Amino acid sequence: GAVVSQHPSRVICKSGTSVKIECRSLDFQATTMFWYRQFPKQSLMLMATSNEGSKATYEQGVEKDKFLINHASLTLSTLTVTSAHPEDSSFYICSARTSSGLSNQPQHFGDGTRLSIL
Amino acid sequence: GQQVMQIPQYQHVQEGEDFTTYCNSSTTLSNIQWYKQRPGGHPVFLIQLVKSGEVKKQKRLTFQFGEAKKNSSLHITATQTTDVGTYFCAGPGGTASKLTFGTGTRLQVTL
């Protein structure tokens, strides 16, 4: 149980393109999902907390207009990187919790999306 | 803001040797979680510790939560090549829902 599916797994595109990444909880409902960014050999950096039916909460320094998050249902959150540039190239990972979203519950991660902007 | 540091950043051991990673938080934690990320993969939840001084074991892995609930450790006995990966600790990050991940310890095991 507690499977999170993330799609696509890899994207290579030209500078200026917008890229949408989907995160789905397959066998549970997730009122809260999280979007992380990870650079090579570094830790996970939380970008934003995605809340079903309301606006996402962004971490300090993360541009809301650059990284659009939509959490329209209890099983789907999307991250759109708008007008992507080479500096946006990274590994993006989503996660979800199975319960009420409190931090004492484990997070279940998607497989991640490796984004390369040429 | 809250900081969660891990040492060492990287360790290379021979198969069969023991390994320990240490996690230190700048703030007291209500709980601490450990995750493992294999190369090219995503983090996978290993365990959660809640009580001060708690010790939990999973086969060759031993997890400990400090008495002050600001530090934790993961010890692997007799490492195997399947233990290769990066180990992250994570604690509540200031709000009720999010986690702050530690800096991670990358473990390399060779025969």
Of all residues in chain B, what percent carry a pLDDT higher than 90?
Answer: 91
Distant-in-sequence, close-in-space partners of A45: CB < 8 Å, separation ≥ 6: A36, A37, A38, A39, A59
* A-proximal residues of B, 28-67, CB under 8 Å: 30-31, 33, 41-45, 48, 50
Mean pLDDT (chain B, rounded): 95
pLDDT recorded at residue B24: 98
pLDDT recorded at residue A103: 58
Q: What is the DSSP string of B17-33?
A: --EEEEEEESS--S-EE
B16 Cβ under 8 Å from any chain A Cβ: no
| Contact predicate A95/A3, CB 8 Å | no
- Residue B107's pLDDT band (cuts 50, 70, 90): very high
Task: Give the tokens for residue B21.
Answer: 């990673």
Distant-in-sequence, close-in-space partners of A22: CB < 8 Å, separation ≥ 6: A5, A6, A7, A76, A77, A78
Quick one: average pLDDT of B62-78? 97
Q: How far apart are CA A24 and CA A111, in angstroms?
A: 11
Distant-in-sequence, close-in-space partners of B40: CB < 8 Å, separation ≥ 6: none
Range in A13-27, B18-32, B93-107 with the lowest mean pLDDT? B93-107
B92 Cβ under 8 Å from any chain A Cβ: yes
Give chain A's residues under pLDDT 50.
Answer: none
Quick one: average pLDDT of B59-88? 98
Contact A43/B101, CB-based, under 8 Å?
yes
Q: How far apart are CA A57 and CA A100, in angstroms?
A: 17
pLDDT recorded at residue B93: 76
Q: How far apart are CA B10 and CA B29, in angstroms?
A: 24
A62 Cβ under 8 Å from any chain B Cβ: no
Which residue in B has a C-alpha nearest to residue A107's C-alpha? Answer: B45
- Given a cut of 70, whether residue B60 has pLDDT beyond it is yes
pLDDT recorded at residue A99: 59
- Residue B1's pLDDT band (cuts 50, 70, 90): confident
Task: Give the tokens for residue A42.
Answer: 């570094």
Which positions in chain B touch A110 (Cβ < 8 Å)? 42
pLDDT recorded at residue A80: 97
pLDDT recorded at residue B95: 64
